[in-house]
Chains A and B, each alone.
Chain A
Amino acid sequence: MKFITLIKCSLTVILLGMPLTAVAGELAIIVNSENTVGNLDQNDIKKYLLKENLSWPNGAKVRSVDRKGSPPERKVFLKEIAQMSPENLEKYWVSKRYEKGIPVPPRLGGDQQIIEYVQSFEGAISYVNASSIGEAQRATIKIVGTVPMP
Chain B
Amino acid sequence: MLIKRISILLVGFLLLSTAQLAIAANIEVSGFGDLSYGYLWDGPANEGDAALYKSDGIAPFPLSQNDGFGNVGIDFTILAELTDRLTALSELNIQLDRGGTSDVGLDLERAYIDYRINNRFNLQVGSFFTPIGFHNRTLYSRAWLMTSIQIPDFDEEELGLVPTHSTGIHAYGNLTNWGTHSFNYAVSLANSRGRDPKTLILNRDEGARKTVTGLLEWVLPTHRDFRIGLSGWLAEINTFKVGPAIGDTANISTAEPVKLEEIGFNPYLVLYSKHYNLILEYVSLRQNDKKGNLTGSPFEFEAFIGEFSLNLMDDKVHPYVRYDFTDLPGTGGPYLTLREDEDGNLTRKYVPEFKAVMFGVAYDLFALNRIKAEVIHNFDGPRANYGFTIQSAYAF
**Chain A residues close to B by CB (< 8 Å):** 43, 52-55, 59-61, 83, 85-88, 90-91, 94-95, 97-99, 101, 103-104, 123
Q: For B137, list chain A residues within 8 Å (CB).
A: 99
B341 within 8 Å of A (CB atoms):
no
**Given A43-B180, A61-B116, A101-B87, A87 and B142 touching (CB < 8 A)?**
no
Min Cβ gap B27→A in Å is 9
Interface residues of B in 139-161 (CB under 8 A from A): 142, 144-145
**Given A59-B118, A99-B137, A87 and B180 touching (CB < 8 A)?**
no
Min Cβ gap B5→A in Å is 28
B368 within 8 Å of A (CB atoms):
yes
**Given A59-B118, A101-B89, A91 and B79 touching (CB < 8 A)?**
no
Query: How far is it, in angstroms, between the C-alpha of A133 and the C-alpha of B126 when the chains are bound?
Result: 45
Min Cβ gap A35→B in Å is 14
B315-A103 in contact (CB<8A): no
Min Cβ gap A18→B in Å is 25
Interface residues of B in 1-41 (CB under 8 A from A): 26, 28, 30, 32
Q: For A85, list chain B residues within 8 Å (CB).
A: 314-315
Q: Which residue of A lies closest to B364 (CB)?
A: A87
Q: Which residue of B lies closest to A121 (CB)?
A: B84
Min Cβ gap B97→A in Å is 23
17 new A-B contacts at CB < 8 Å, known A61-B116, A98-B145, A104-B28: A52-B174, A53-B119, A54-B116, A55-B117, A61-B85, A85-B315, A86-B367, A87-B316, A91-B368, A94-B144, A94-B368, A94-B395, A97-B77, A97-B79, A99-B137, A99-B138, A103-B26
B236 within 8 Å of A (CB atoms):
no
Q: For B116, list chain A residues within 8 Å (CB).
A: 54-55, 61
B196 within 8 Å of A (CB atoms):
no
Q: For A55, list chain B residues within 8 Å (CB).
A: 116-119
Q: Name, among B26, B114, B118, B180, the residue most crowded by chain A CB atoms within 10 Å (CB to CB).
A: B118
Please report whether the interface of chain A is mostly helix, strand, loop or mixed according to DSSP: mixed
In the complex, 22 of the A-B residue pairs with CB atoms within 8 angstroms, ordered by the A residue number, are A43-B180, A53-B119, A54-B116, A59-B118, A60-B84, A61-B85, A85-B315, A86-B367, A87-B315, A87-B364, A87-B366, A87-B367, A90-B368, A91-B367, A91-B368, A95-B145, A98-B30, A98-B77, A98-B142, A99-B137, A101-B87, A123-B84
Min Cβ gap A63→B in Å is 9
Q: Interface digits, B363-382 against A, CB 8 Å rule (1 contact, 0 not)?
A: 01011100000000000000
B327 within 8 Å of A (CB atoms):
no
B138-A95 in contact (CB<8A): yes
B118-A103 in contact (CB<8A): no
A-B pairs, top 5 by smallest CB distance, nearest first, are A90-B367, A87-B367, A61-B84, A101-B89, A55-B118
Q: Interface digits, B83-121 against A, CB 8 Å rule (1 contact, 0 not)?
A: 011010100000000000000000000000010111100
A101-B138 in contact (CB<8A): no
B205 within 8 Å of A (CB atoms):
no
Query: How far is it, in angstroms, between the C-alpha of A101 and the C-alpha of B85 when the chains are bound?
Result: 12
